[in-house]
């Protein structure tokens, strides 16, 4: 079992549902990132997904797309993201994972990237454009270092497909709540219940649900159905509109 899964399972003995939050590195600045992370950790977030910006974020909606592009156009470099991440993992003691697109790893060198992430105490990776068919090397390298190559389930995935994904995954499974990209609202309906049941039947890994989760109502709905609720776009919107200080109270209001 990966360290990440152990940590999550331990937390789940104390809490009914865990919270994972997301931010885009360098947007609007590393200083704001640091303050946002401080507020998140202080208010009980269990795990944070740090997105390394990429110029072509195809799985992301307008809000996160804009954050990626502004971070890059302000001159943020991969090296700065890695150094910042190292500072953060030294200061805050919850699991941190990297979310990014495959080209960032590919260009850096897959093994070099995974080793670097290992050195700075990153626990896992979410790479939405790398299916297991194309990512054998990545999956094996991450697993050999006891890190989690987190796999993604979608509402369109069959049970057989989910089983194959789970075999390639570790840590937890990221269940995309609906079709489309990040940032739009999700209606949790009967189809969703069937979907989550299918996810459960395909794997024993903890299930995180993301895409369109914005409120306590959403988190309450997921409680008992999933293990982890993922808050993505909503905190970016909040920081844009009200500043980093608004993040703490928002997180506190979710559980």
Partner 1 sequence: MIKKGYYGHWGGAFIPEILFETFKELNVYFEEAKNDPSFWEEYLQLMSSYSCRPTPLTYAGNVSKHFGGAHIYIKREDLNHTGAHKANNVMGQGLLVKRMGKKRVIAETGAGQHGVATATMAAKFGFDCTIYMGEEDVQRQRPNVFWMEKMGATVVPVTDGSKTLKDAINEAFRDWVTNMDSTHYVLGTVCGPHPFPEMVAWFQSIIGIEAREQILKAFTKLPTRVYACVGGGSNAMGIFQGFLQDEQVGLVGVEAGGKGLSSGEHASRLAGSDASPGVAQGYKTMFLQDSDGQMLDTHSVAAGLDYIGVSPILSDLWEKGRVRFTAATDIEVMEALDLTMKKEGIIPALESAHGFVQAFKEAPDLGTEEAIVINMSGRGDKDIFTIANAYGDPSWKKFIIERAEQYKNDKE
Using CA atoms, how far apart are residues 124 and 5, in angstroms rounded to an integer?
10
Q: Contact 253/246 with Cβ under 8 angstroms?
A: no
**Partners of residue 96 on adjacent β-strands:** 48
- Closest approach, Cβ 179 to partner 1, in A, equals 5
Contact present, 142 and 114 (Cβ < 8 Å): yes
Q: Which residues of 49-74 are buried (b: 16+ CB within 10 A; e: fewer)?
A: bbbbbbeebebbbebbbbbbbebeee
**70 binds partner 1 per the rule CB under 8 A:** no
DSSP string, 133-165: TT-HHHHHHHHHTT-EEEEEE-TT--HHHHHHH
Choice from 120, 131, 200, 221 touching partner 1 (CB under 8 A): 131
Q: Determine, following the binding rule CB under 8 A, whether residue 217 of this chain makes contact with partner 1.
A: no
Does position 96 interact with partner 1 (CB under 8 A)? The reply is: no
**Touching partner 1, residues 145-204 (CB under 8 A):** 151-158, 161, 165, 176, 179-181
Binding residues for partner 1, how many (CB under 8 A)? 42
Instruction: Answer yes or no whether residue 130 interacts with partner 1 by CB under 8 A.
Output: yes
Nearest to 232 by CA among 30, 5, 13, 57: 57
Q: Does 244 bind partner 1 (CB under 8 A)?
A: no
Per DSSP, the three-state class of 238 is helix
The 8 Å CB, 24+ separation contacts for 107-113 are: 108/78, 110/137, 110/138, 110/141, 111/141
Nearer to partner 1, 105 or 213 (CB): 105
Q: Does residue 139 interact with partner 1 by CB under 8 A?
A: no
Task: Write down the residue that tokens 């009967």 correspond to.
Answer: 190
| Interface segment toward partner 1; rule CB under 8 A; list 3-11, 25-33, 56-64, 243-251 | 56-64
Q: Does 129 bind partner 1 (CB under 8 A)?
A: yes
Question: Closer CB to partner 1, residue 73 or residue 146?
Answer: 73
Does 12 engage in binding with partner 1 (CB under 8 A)? no
Catalytic status, residue 49: yes
Instruction: Dihedral sign for Cα 149, 155, 160, 163, please.
Output: positive
Nearer to partner 1, 85 or 176 (CB): 176
104 touches partner 1 by CB under 8 A? yes
Given the residues 5, 46, 49, 234, select the one marked as catalytic: 49
What is the Cα–Cα distance from 219 to 186, expressed in whole angstroms? Answer: 12
Catalytic, 245? Answer no
- Judged by the rule CB under 8 A, the positions of this chain that interact with partner 1 are 53-59, 61-62, 65-66, 69, 72, 77-78, 101-104, 106-108, 128-131, 133-134, 151-158, 161, 165, 176, 179-181
Residues tagged active-site: 49, 60
């Amino acid at each position: 079992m990966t360290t990440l899964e152990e940590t999550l399972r331990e937390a789940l003995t104390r809490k009914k549902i865990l919270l994972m939050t997301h931010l885009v590195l360098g947007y609007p600045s590393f200083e704001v990132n640091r303050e946002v992370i401080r507020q998140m950790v202080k208010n009980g977030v269990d795990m944070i997904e740090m997105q390394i910006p990429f110029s072509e974020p195809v799985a992301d909606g307008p809000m996160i797309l804009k954050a990626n592009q502004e971070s890059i156009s302000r001159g943020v470099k991969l090296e700065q993201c890695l150094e910042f991440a190292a500072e953060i993992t030294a200061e805050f003691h919850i699991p941190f994972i990297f979310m990014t697109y495959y080209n960032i790893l590919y260009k850096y060198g897959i093994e070099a990237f995974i080793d670097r992430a290992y050195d700075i105490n990153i626990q896992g990776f979410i790479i939405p454009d790398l299916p297991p068919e194309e990512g054998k090397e990545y999956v094996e390298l991450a697993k050999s270092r006891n890190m989690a190559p987190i796999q993604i389930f979608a509402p369109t995935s069959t049970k057989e497909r989910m089983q194959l994904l789970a075999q390639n995954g570790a840590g937890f499974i990221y269940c995309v709540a609906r079709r489309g990209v990040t940032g739009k609202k999700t209606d949790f309906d009967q189809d969703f219940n069937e979907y989550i049941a299918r996810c459960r039947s395909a794997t024993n890994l903890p299930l995180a649900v993301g895409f369109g989760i914005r409120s306590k109502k959403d988190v309450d709905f997921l409680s008992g159905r999933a293990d982890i609720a993922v808050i993505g776009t909503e905190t970016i919107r909040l920081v844009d509109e009200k500043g980093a200080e608004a993040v703490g109270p928002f997180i506190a209001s979710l559980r």
